[in-house]
Chains A and B, each alone.
Chain A
Amino acid sequence: MPRPGTGTALTPWILMDQLLDFGPVFDNLDLILGGFWATVRLAVVTAILALIFGTFLTALRVSPVTVLSRTGSLVVNLLRNTPLTLLLAICILAINDELKITLSGTETVNRYWWGVLGLSIYTGAFVSEALQSGINTVPIGQAEAARSIGLTFLQSLRLIILPQAFRAVIAPLGSVLIAMIKNTTVVGAVAYGYEAAAVMKEMFDDMGASIPVFLGIAAGYLVLTLPTGFFFGWLAKRMAVAR
């Protein structure tokens, strides 16, 4: 790499060649793909846990018991307004390191699970928001009609309310999951430094930062998020409730 003052003046074409040399990307493809494999492992497990936790929070929020609904709302509001970086830092630095509550004996496994847990709890709050808004889209007349034809609570839930709510929830839930995939980068930086963004930083440190490495990683995220977005968009349109 020519240093200032040492090389001869570069023509624009040679400059482009130097700045856009994709060699490092292809030479280290296994590294990058390994990073995205870690991203996928984080994202899939987090998605499952976040859906479970979000459903649980929503169940609390819609329950007729005031204490439970208040608690659910409080938890969601607190989580939504906490920066993810802070939440993960608390998980790793405060709870793991300081309070010595560990999830696994092996350090990397431990940090992986703390990252997944932190991101799941954070994402769960947004899942709950999406589910809640889905339930809110069902007009109360639907529930009244269900009750008046004699359906029990569980029947009206299963046959009338949830099918409509679920359909309205697909699009926002898709957005939440895509945001979660992108948020795995924060997990990489704070807790589990093996996913794609951490790999990018490692490559920057090892072989010098360059635009092609960034573009390679960026393309990877596009490959992860765009199809997810198209899928949920397609599904939401297909399942839309006609009102």
Chain B
Amino acid sequence: MSRREATVLFDAPGPRARLRHNILTAVAVAVLLGIAYLVYARLNERGQFAGELWKPFVEPQVWQNLILPGLKNTLGAAAVASVLALLFGVVFGLARLSDHWWIRIPAGLVVEFFRAMPLLILIFLAFFVPPAISPIIADSPFGNAQRIIVENVLFVFGVEINAGNVTVPAFAALVFGLVMYNGSVLAEVVRAGVLAVPRGQSEAAYALGLRKNGVMRLVLLPQAVTAMLPAVVSQLVVLLKDTALGFIIAFQDLLSAGFRIVPANYHNLVPAAIIVSIIYIGMNLALSRLATWLEGRSRRSRKSAATTLSTGTGAPAAAGMGQQLSTAGATGTATGED
């Protein structure tokens, strides 16, 4: 059962080590089976294997009316937030690379601030503050501007204004939080991606007579995209995972549907928890695999001179840690930002 090759920690096992490994394997299997039995026993004791608790999940209308609409909301919020976060990331990432200090420094402040904020309090900000302060703004000279902005721009997210009172739906608050936070992280990824292109590339482009715009658009960005794609996709996994925070402000997402509404109707919280977990883990694993695959592909690619940013690169959630974006070797040091 033991691996035959040497690793950095263990030499290739000889006969005695193999015997020891076989004994350890037997012990480990016994311990794992013991743990599995304890879990099973507790679930059984509380009657969680009763058929009627699981039955709702084989009924099509439960899926059609509750779980799939929730899943659709989750994926919808994730999709909208992904697109806007990418846009935010590109704009602010490039702004941080600007030659003008009056663009670079404000962009840096915005990115560092939102990167350092817990996502949840950003969602609270968008959810609770506009309804409270909009009547005050409505009475001021900005009242008209507020109305115009809400009616013409923010209405696409479901934000409504009624006699000066702005209401923000959970969807819009969630998307705001996801965009500001993940957009800021993506801005760092974009910046790191552009910086990962060797300087010779931009020097050569300038020598050819291209201007700043052309150097960025024709030479740096295309190579940077290849390098940063894995990091971007793994950040999108984080974003998809974070949509579950909508649960806290009663957004009708997969977690709400599967964990609040289904158990409320069928009193089957534990089975519901298991099913919802499987769906979330499945979705995220699929996206993570995509990121890993892209990383391998990008490493092999000769189209870009830039070193591939590993899938964990988006993660340095540490404002103030300076330039920690590793471009080398080991994959996957995501930080579990939520």
Contact = CB atoms under 8 A, between A and B. Distances in A.
Contacts of A67: 1, 25, 28-29, 32
Given A1-B135, A136-B330, A85 B245 contact: yes
A3 B138 CA distance: 9
Interface stretch (B10-18, B60-68, B91-99, B213-221): B10-18
Contact of A133 (B3, B116, B333): B333
Contacts of B139: 2, 4, 7-10
B66 to A, nearest CB: 16
B118 A182 contact: yes
B241 A81 contact: yes
A213 B1 CA distance: 59
A83 B1 CA distance: 33
B317 to A, nearest CB: 5
Chain A interface residue number, banded: 35 or more
Nearest to A169: B333
Nearest to B267: A98
Given A67-B25, A214-B121, A233-B320, A1 B136 contact: yes
Contacts of A201: 124, 128
B200 interface: no
A66 B29 CA distance: 11
Nearest to A162: B9
A81 B285 contact: yes
A85 B244 contact: yes
Chain B interface residue number, banded: 35 or more
B105 interface: no
B133 A2 contact: no
B94 to A, nearest CB: 24
A183 B332 contact: no
A85 B247 contact: yes
Contacts of B42: 99, 101
B3 A98 contact: no
Contact of B136 (A18, A97, A136, A182): A18
Given A221-B117, A221-B121, A129 B320 contact: no
Given A129-B332, A232-B318, A189 B281 contact: no
A19 B140 CA distance: 11
Interface in A94-112: 94, 97-101
Interface string B246-283: 01100000010001000000000110010011001100
A222 B315 CA distance: 18
A183 B338 contact: yes
Contacts of B118: 182-185, 197, 221
A93 B259 contact: yes
A68 interface: yes
Contacts of A99: 42-43, 46, 48, 270
A34 interface: no
Nearest to A204: B128
B3 to A, nearest CB: 6
Contacts of A114: none
Nearest to B164: A4
B336 A183 contact: yes
A125 interface: yes
Interface in A62-82: 62-68, 71, 77-78, 80-82
A209 B141 contact: no
A159 interface: no
B120 A189 contact: yes
B189 interface: no
Interface in B9-44: 9-11, 13, 17, 21, 24-25, 28-29, 32, 42-43
Given A77-B285, A85-B255, A142 B244 contact: no
Given A183-B118, A189-B248, A225-B319, A19 B324 contact: no
Contacts of A101: 42
30 contacts: A1-B135, A9-B139, A18-B136, A64-B7, A64-B10, A66-B1, A67-B1, A67-B29, A81-B241, A84-B241, A85-B245, A85-B248, A86-B255, A89-B273, A90-B273, A97-B269, A98-B270, A134-B330, A136-B330, A171-B321, A172-B333, A178-B318, A179-B337, A182-B317, A201-B124, A208-B132, A229-B318, A229-B321, A230-B321, A233-B322
10 tightest Cβ-Cβ pairs between the two chains A and B:
A83-B244, A229-B320, A126-B336, A81-B284, A133-B330, A4-B164, A209-B128, A209-B132, A229-B318, A10-B140
Given A15-B137, A85-B255, A189-B248, 13 more contacts: A9-B141, A65-B25, A67-B28, A67-B29, A80-B288, A81-B237, A86-B244, A94-B273, A126-B336, A178-B335, A201-B128, A214-B124, A214-B129
